[in-house]
A = this chain, B = another copy of it.
């Protein structure tokens, strides 16, 4: 078995109270004793039992995040970067990061949140892939459980969040495409109850309207934020009697799939057929051809979220509850090539 605080206390002929308080840095234990305790504890390889500590302290020093993995080969690099950001900032605040995978909306997801919050397995959670009306937001807000979100839902709850103005920046992509002369611009989106879909589609429509282009429902398709989804939707668009000259995708992964089908069909992507993404995943500047996209600082956003969550858990007042992040329009060959 492991070394416990009792073993340390016995070795030093001290009470466990004193050992505990020495290590925790209370000032009602002499410097001499404290030094001795810490020294001995270290020598004996004592590490506090986390479960006991959690039980007593009523906190777990852990934050939770559920990866929206809805398919087996889930390799969206967005999440590698996002998790790295969460993890780094978490450990900076002395938190561990608990990750679960569950298809969005599944009962597995429900159960995980219930176990985590009611069972006090985590002190707070990070949400993303927010829906317009999101049960998680409502559930956590009602339970008064600390949480933060990437993108805001429309629920009228008060909670900290980080957001990119998807509507505004998607419109900038449209401006860019129109400035290149495109008139038939398609849109491949995501599930309509997703916040990013609503925002980005709105940006798409704003863009059309501003340049007096008609909204053509046959050019607006639903993907699923994967390259497969983009592939299928792209295929459909290229099969149209009068296909679009530009395809604006809701995210980079979707755009990835479009590039794939375009190449298979022998369509060189660039000026003639333009494709755009949204996310700016590091490493995706090497796609075929390099992808014009909106570049979000995913790592920073993740860290910012954890920062706010940590403050909330510590009941510190937040300097600002609603952080707006400025991305960058990255123009590459997929719209201006060849």
- The chain A residues found within 8 Å of chain B, CB to CB, are 2-3, 45, 47-52, 54-55, 60, 62, 67, 69, 72-81, 83-84, 87-88, 91, 96-102, 108, 112, 114-115, 118-121, 227, 253, 256, 259-260, 281-283, 285-290, 298-299
Q: List 19 A-B contacts (CB under 8 A).
A: A3-B118, A45-B118, A50-B54, A50-B119, A51-B120, A69-B84, A72-B299, A74-B84, A75-B77, A75-B80, A75-B84, A75-B283, A76-B80, A77-B283, A80-B83, A83-B99, A83-B101, A87-B100, A260-B285
Closest CB in chain B relative to A283 CB, distance in Å? 6
- Give bound CA distance, A67 to B88, whole Å: 10
B119 touches A101 (CB 8 A): no
A282 touches B108 (CB 8 A): no
Interface centre among A72, A75, A289 (most CB of B within 10 A): A75
Q: Are B100 and A99 in contact (CB under 8 A)?
A: no
Among B47, B98, B287, the residue within 8 A (CB) of A115 is B47
Among A52, A80, A290, the most chain B Cβ lie within 10 Å of the Cβ of A80
Give Cα A233 to B299, complex, Å: 25
Contact B283 A286 (CB under 8 A): no
Partner of A55, one of B51, B100, B282: B51
In the complex, A119 Cα to B52 Cα: how many Å? 9
- The complex places the Cα of A83 from the Cα of B108 at a distance, in Å, of 17
A96 B121 Cβ-Cβ under 8 A:
yes
- Beyond A67-B84, A84-B67, A119-B48, whether A289 also contacts B288 by CB under 8 A is yes
Cβ-defined contact, B81 with A121, below 8 A: no
CB distance from A288 to the nearest CB of B (A): 4
Shortest distance between the CB of A334 and any CB in chain B (Å)? 10
User: How far apart are the CA atoms of A91 and B100 in the complex, in Å?
Assistant: 7
Q: What are the residues of chain B within 8 A of A79 when measuring CB–CB?
A: 80, 83
Q: Is the CB of B96 within 8 A of A97?
A: no
B99–A91 CB distance below 8 A: no
Chain B proximity of A276: nearest CB distance (Å): 15
In Å, the complex CA distance between A98 and B90 comes to: 12
Residue of B nearest to A112 (CB): B91
Asked whether, in the complex, the Cβ of B88 is within 8 Å of the Cβ of A101, the reply is: yes
Question: How far apart sit A185 and B48, CA to CA, in the bound complex (Å)?
Answer: 53
Task: Identify A81's interface contact among B52, B74, B115, B281, CB under 8 A.
Answer: B74
State in angstroms the CA–CA spacing of A15 and B320 once bound together.
48
Q: Report the separation of the CA atoms of residues A118 and B44 in the bound assembly, to the nearest whole angstrom.
A: 12
A281 to B281, CA, bound (A): 15
* Closest chain B residue, CB of each to CB of A61: B121
